[in-house]
């Protein structure tokens, strides 16, 4: 691991998650567990994967929400997050997610028609398309950092494969986290750090925050300071155009060939960019946020708030989505404006089609902007599955603290819940090093099966006791188990402590060492 700056988190940040937070997590876990290419509950208005509701954005920000929850709230439960995170990365590599590039790479759209129609490109990484490649890069490196697992560093671990049945030939593009990071880095250098295009010729500020996060994670895992180099170069390159416009809103993009800035003001542009840039440029974003939220936020019923969509969306309801609302909530959570975050979430809970589905909490798709009373009612899967979950699960400065690197090898040696049934939820998981205590709270979704739990970091710490709902049920030494109560099975298996117990309601498990 690279150099880290240690961060002390408050009890509130590492405490028990509430029922709505649990519901958001369960929704993400349920979507991650769907069969390959089953996009039920994730389908937006267009199936072309061109807009901001595309699968790649949903998958990435669900992964980021899991990461922030693990780092800041459920620090001692890697087993709750590891497999869902792998599944999200697997889904990110599906042709359903990236073959849009074969068409988008041809350009000739509103912002790049001066180039004419370009040759199509199947490989979604080789040139441009930072709006896909950087999410795959950052998700893989984030997984490595969170779980101390190099599976995506192995040759070909991030390969993209397309196998049509009745036309053409197989297409295979081999990458891993290091080769992908290196390719994106040199693409950034070749463009003078201004950034890499999404669509041909269109360099968006927002999408180029994502590889910066990826570079920082690469630094944390492998050492070095790629992120520092790139952010310095980025600020110098954008000084030609301005990161902000004269009204205090973020400039959206630059047309690369023409060297012309494009700056339509929109809530999503301010808040999406602010949410991500805050990781490495926090003071600048915090200074800009009050003016931006004052421009876009509107009072709602009963003390709630909502976000006024841009004129373009109101003029063409076919473009309707809740992304402005969702990104405002995320940005408020990141910069620490908890009053705004909570008022937005209260509005969403009351008016934006909240649902409980298979234990998961989300907001159902709704394509109309307003109802007959003039209330904003629109919802899309990206906002309903990912963004509002992210906002509710995040903590103030959550992405910034993750960017700073709060974990080292000592974290991975600490006691933790490493494996549990997929039908169980974790609502608290924390190792208190000061008091030498691991506390885990579990809640079953009611499949009726016994729970088998695997714990790591138990051995070599001296004698221990395990309490279940306050009652001492097992004990042992630094090397093994000496006692387990009737109805409970506990034994050592390699470096793990395996615990089997009957299915039941919420349970509190507390391991205590001297």
**Residue 263: its pLDDT value, please?**
84
Rounded CA-CA distance 6/378 in Å is 41
**Residue 1: its pLDDT value, please?**
42
- Mean pLDDT for the stretch of residues 7-22: 65
**Residue 7: its pLDDT value, please?**
33
214: number of Cβ within 10 Å: 28
Tokens of 426: 């974790």
356 φψ region: left (φ > 0), alpha (ψ -120 to 50), beta (else):
beta
Span 144-163, pLDDT tens digits: 999 999 999 999 999 999 99
**Residue 11: its pLDDT value, please?**
39
427 touches 443 (CB < 8 A)? yes
**Residue 31: its pLDDT value, please?**
98
Range of the domain at 503: 416-512
195 touches 203 (CB < 8 A)? yes
Do the domain assignments include residue 500? yes
**Residue 3: its pLDDT value, please?**
39
Backbone φ, ψ for residue 291 (5° rounding): -70, -40
478: number of Cβ within 10 Å: 12
**Residue 291: its pLDDT value, please?**
97
Backbone φ, ψ for residue 126 (5° rounding): -60, -35
Span 103-123, pLDDT tens digits: 999 988 888 888 888 899 999
Tokens of 57: 């954005």
510 touches 438 (CB < 8 A)? yes
Question: What's the CATH code of the domain at 445?
Answer: 2.60.40
Domain count along the chain: 1
Sorted by sequence, the CB contacts under 8 Å of residue 35 that are 6+ apart come out as: none
- Percent pLDDT > 70 in the chain is 96
**Residue 14: its pLDDT value, please?**
41
- Mean pLDDT for the stretch of residues 467-472: 94
- Mean pLDDT for the stretch of residues 370-382: 95
Do the domain assignments include residue 431? yes
pLDDT surpassing 70 at residue 36: yes
Span 186-225, pLDDT tens digits: 999 999 999 999 999 999 999 999 999 999 999 999 999 9
Do the domain assignments include residue 350? no
**Residue 80: its pLDDT value, please?**
98
Sorted by sequence, the CB contacts under 8 Å of residue 476 that are 6+ apart come out as: 463, 464, 482, 483, 490, 497
- Mean pLDDT for the stretch of residues 243-259: 95
**Residue 116: its pLDDT value, please?**
84
pLDDT surpassing 80 at residue 280: yes
**Residue 2: its pLDDT value, please?**
41
**Residue 315: its pLDDT value, please?**
65
Sorted by sequence, the CB contacts under 8 Å of residue 128 that are 6+ apart come out as: 105, 196, 197, 198, 199, 200
Sorted by sequence, the CB contacts under 8 Å of residue 156 that are 6+ apart come out as: 174, 175, 176
439 touches 445 (CB < 8 A)? no
Do the domain assignments include residue 302? no
- Mean pLDDT for the stretch of residues 19-46: 96
Do the domain assignments include residue 473? yes
pLDDT surpassing 90 at residue 12: no
342: number of Cβ within 10 Å: 18
Give the rounded distance of the alpha carbon of 189 from its chain centre. 26
**Residue 264: its pLDDT value, please?**
86
**Residue 448: its pLDDT value, please?**
67
313: number of Cβ within 10 Å: 20
pTM: 0.95
Do the domain assignments include residue 174? no
- pLDDT top residue among 162 and 14: 162
Give the rounded distance of the alpha carbon of 5 from its chain centre. 22
Rounded CA-CA distance 395/336 in Å is 8
pLDDT surpassing 70 at residue 9: no
Do the domain assignments include residue 495? yes
Q: What is the DSSP string of 234-300?
A: HHHHHTTT-SB-TTS-B--EEETTTTEEE----HHHHHHHHHHHTTT-HHHHHHHHHHHHHHHEEE-
Rounded CA-CA distance 326/247 in Å is 22
Do the domain assignments include residue 457? yes
Span 387-442, pLDDT tens digits: 999 999 999 999 999 999 999 889 999 999 999 999 999 999 999 999 999 999 99
The DSSP symbol for 408 reads -
């Amino acid at each position: 691991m690279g150099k880290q700056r240690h961060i002390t988190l408050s009890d509130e940040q590492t405490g028990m998650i509430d029922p709505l937070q649990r519901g958001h997590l369960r929704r993400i876990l349920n979507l991650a567990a769907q069969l390959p290419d089953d996009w039920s509950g994730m389908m937006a208005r267009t199936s072309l994967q061109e807009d901001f509701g595309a699968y790649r954005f949903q998958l990435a920000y669900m992964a980021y929400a899991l990461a922030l929850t693990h780092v800041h709230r459920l620090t001692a439960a890697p087993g709750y997050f590891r497999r869902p995170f792998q599944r999200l990365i697997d889904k990110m590599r599906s042709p359903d997610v990236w073959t849009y590039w074969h068409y988008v790479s041809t350009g000739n759209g509103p912002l790049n028609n001066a180039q004419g129609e370009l040759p199509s490109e199947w490989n979604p990484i080789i040139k441009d398309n930072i709006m896909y490649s950087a999410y795959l890069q950052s998700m893989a490196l984030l997984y490595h950092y969170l779980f101390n697992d190099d599976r995506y560093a192995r040759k070909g671990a991030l390969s993209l494969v397309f196998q049509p049945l009745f036309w053409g030939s197989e297409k295979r593009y081999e990458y891993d986290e290091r080769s992908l990071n290196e390719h994106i880095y040199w693409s950034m250098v070749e463009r003078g750090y201004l950034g890499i295009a999404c669509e041909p010729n269109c360099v968006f500020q927002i999408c180029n925050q994502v590889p910066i996060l990826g570079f920082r994670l690469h630094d944390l895992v492998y050492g070095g300071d790629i992120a520092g180099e790139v952010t310095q170069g980025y600020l110098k390159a954008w000084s030609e155009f301005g990161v902000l416009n004269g009204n205090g809103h973020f400039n959206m993009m630059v047309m690369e060939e023409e060297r012309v800035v494009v700056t339509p003001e929109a809530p999503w542009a301010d808040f999406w960019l602010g949410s991500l840039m805050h990781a490495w440029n926090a003071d600048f974003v915090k200074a800009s946020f009050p003016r931006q939220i004052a421009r876009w936020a509107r009072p709602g019923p009963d003390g709630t708030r909502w976000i006024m969509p841009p004129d373009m969306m109101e003029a063409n309801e076919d473009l309707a989505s809740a992304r402005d609302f969702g990104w405002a909530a995320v940005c408020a959570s990141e910069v620490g404006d908890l009053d705004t975050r909570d008022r937005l979430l209260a509005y969403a809970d009351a008016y934006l089609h909240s649902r409980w589905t298979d234990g998961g909490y989300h907001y159902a798709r709704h394509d109309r902007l307003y109802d007959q009373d003039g209330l904003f009612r629109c919802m899309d899967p990206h906002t309903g599955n990912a963004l509002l979950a992210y906002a509710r699960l995040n903590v103030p400065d959550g992405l910034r603290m993750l960017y700073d690197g709060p974990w080292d090898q000592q974290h991975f040696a600490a006691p933790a819940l490493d494996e549990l049934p997929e039908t169980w939820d974790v609502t608290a998981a924390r190792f208190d090093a000061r008091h030498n205590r691991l506390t885990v709270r579990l809640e079953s979704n009611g499949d009726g099966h016994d729970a088998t739990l695997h714990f790591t970091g138990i051995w070599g710490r001296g004698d221990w006791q395990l309490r279940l709902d306050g009652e001492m049920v097992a004990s042992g030494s630094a090397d093994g188990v000496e006692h387990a109560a009737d109805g409970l099975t506990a034994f050592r298996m390699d470096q793990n402590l395996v615990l089997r117990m009957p299915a039941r309601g919420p349970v509190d498990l507390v391991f205590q060492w001297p």
